[in-house]
Amino acid sequence: MSVHRLDSGTLRKPTKLKNGWLRADGYLARTGVQTYRFPDGSVRRELRKPEEVFSKDALDSFRSLPITDDHPTVMLDAKNTRQFQRGHNSDNVRQDGNFVRSELMVTDAELIEKMDNGKKQISCGYVCELDFTPGEWQGEKYDAVQFNIRGNHVAIVDVGRAGPQASVRMDAGEMVSPDELPTGDTTGGAVPLQKEKPMKTVKIDGVDYEVSEQAAQAIAKVLAKLDSDVSNHKKLADKRKEDLSAAEAKRDAALEELATLKKERTDAEDPAKIQERVDARVALLESARKFLGKDADLAGKMDRDIKLEVLKEHTKKDFSDKDDVYVDGRFDAAVEAAPEAPRTGIDKMRGATKLDEENVRKDEAQLGAERNKALRELGSKPLTQNGVR
């Protein structure tokens, strides 16, 4: 993880040139365990090993760095250096005991005046990476180790909060509140450096992203919610599809029923159909009375009920649990098997040789009355599959 650090030291005795510039010798950094305080009040002890501080790449990175009046609000780059530079560090950056030593050339009159009035602390802005493996170095415990240290600028700052130690411990981390200085940001607002945590790798759409553990948790939560929302939307869509299918089935059934009702109404109003149903009803009553007797009261009874009554009388069995097709078939078979199957209507009675004229007239009157009654019933009762109810 790459972080920024602002470490402090004390300038040595400066020399002012004839043109007003000021040359000073100073310590830029040191080795050892240094304590860094964060805006939230937490502290962390970071080890700067000699092999890291005095590595060729680390020392080279501090050569000819820009000098600034206090730390700029951003890490310096080619776009903003001119805005903040007040001098430069020399190329003679070297090890001096436990310190990194160099000469500074300050070329800005305003900053030189501030230095004459006591502003003589050095604070380097640099970038490093951290290994969060804790340990102990020369009797001091640490929480993390700095490596890949790379300089960015050298700032002249006021006396640090460490007091007299600042003049001895040129790199006194205790006197610094480190800031995160994003390169290229010239808005004037330094972003506080938060306590670093191990990075996590998150895969989104097949691409790996390295983020903090907290960000990884937030991303995982968002992705889980998205998965849940997608699943819920799919379930809702499936439910709506099922509801739509059920509604379409009900609509089709209703349309079919309406068509049937329209046909039945048309048939009910057709004189030929009416006559056909009347004849069928009369024939049914004639056939039924052959089995049930002439005095059987069949008025108002449904066709099916009459047929079931005949079958029960004829076979001594109850067929009420059977469907209409079965009942019709058994009834027709019973009628056809009956001896001397009766002829229908008035012709049958007129042709009866064993009835006298008085009985014929009575039968004609009775049949006429039943026909008229059947016609009246047609106007108030629905029709069955086989005739008038």
Whole-angstrom distance, CA of residue 117 vs CA of residue 126? 27
- Beta carbons of 193 and 44 less than 8 angstroms apart: no
Interior CA angle at 198 toward 129 and 54, to 5°?
Answer: 15
Residue 39 has pLDDT above 80, yes or no: no
Task: Give the CA diameter of the chain.
Answer: 164
Q: Which band of pLDDT confidence, cut at 50, 70 and 90, is reported for residue 169?
A: very low
Q: What is the pLDDT of residues 208-219, one digit of tens each?
A: 777 777 777 888
Q: Which band of pLDDT confidence, cut at 50, 70 and 90, is reported for residue 68?
A: very high
Taking the alpha carbons at both ends of the chain, their separation in whole angstroms is 93
List, in sequence order, the alpha helices (H) in the chain. 50-53, 56-61, 81-84, 109-116, 165-168, 213-269, 271-292, 303-315, 324-337, 345-350, 357-378
| Neighbour count for residue 44 (Cβ, 10 Å) | 19
Whole-angstrom distance, CA of residue 24 vs CA of residue 31? 22
Strand partners, 37: 43
pTM above 0.85, yes or no: no
Q: Which band of pLDDT confidence, cut at 50, 70 and 90, is reported for residue 294?
A: confident
Q: What is the pLDDT of residues 359-374, one digit of tens each?
A: 556 666 676 777 777 7
Residue 159 has pLDDT above 80, yes or no: no
* φ, ψ of residue 141 in degrees (nearest 5): -85, 145
Residue 59 has pLDDT above 90, yes or no: yes
Q: Which band of pLDDT confidence, cut at 50, 70 and 90, is reported for residue 89?
A: very high
Whole-angstrom distance, CA of residue 262 vs CA of residue 257? 9
Q: What percent of the chain has pLDDT over 70?
A: 73
Q: Which residue has the tokens 């450096």?
A: 193
Beta strands in 13-143 (DSSP E): 15-16, 22-30, 32-37, 43-48, 66-69, 85-89, 94-96, 99-106, 121-131, 135-137, 140-142
Torsion of CA 174, 180, 184, 186, to 10 degrees: -80
Return the structure tokens found at 263. Answer: 């046909």
Q: What percent of the chain has pLDDT over 90?
A: 30
Q: What is the pLDDT of residues 112-144, one digit of tens each?
A: 998 888 887 888 888 899 899 999 999 999 999
How far, CA to CA in Å, does 363 sit from each of 56, 120, 360, 368, 369? 135, 141, 5, 8, 10
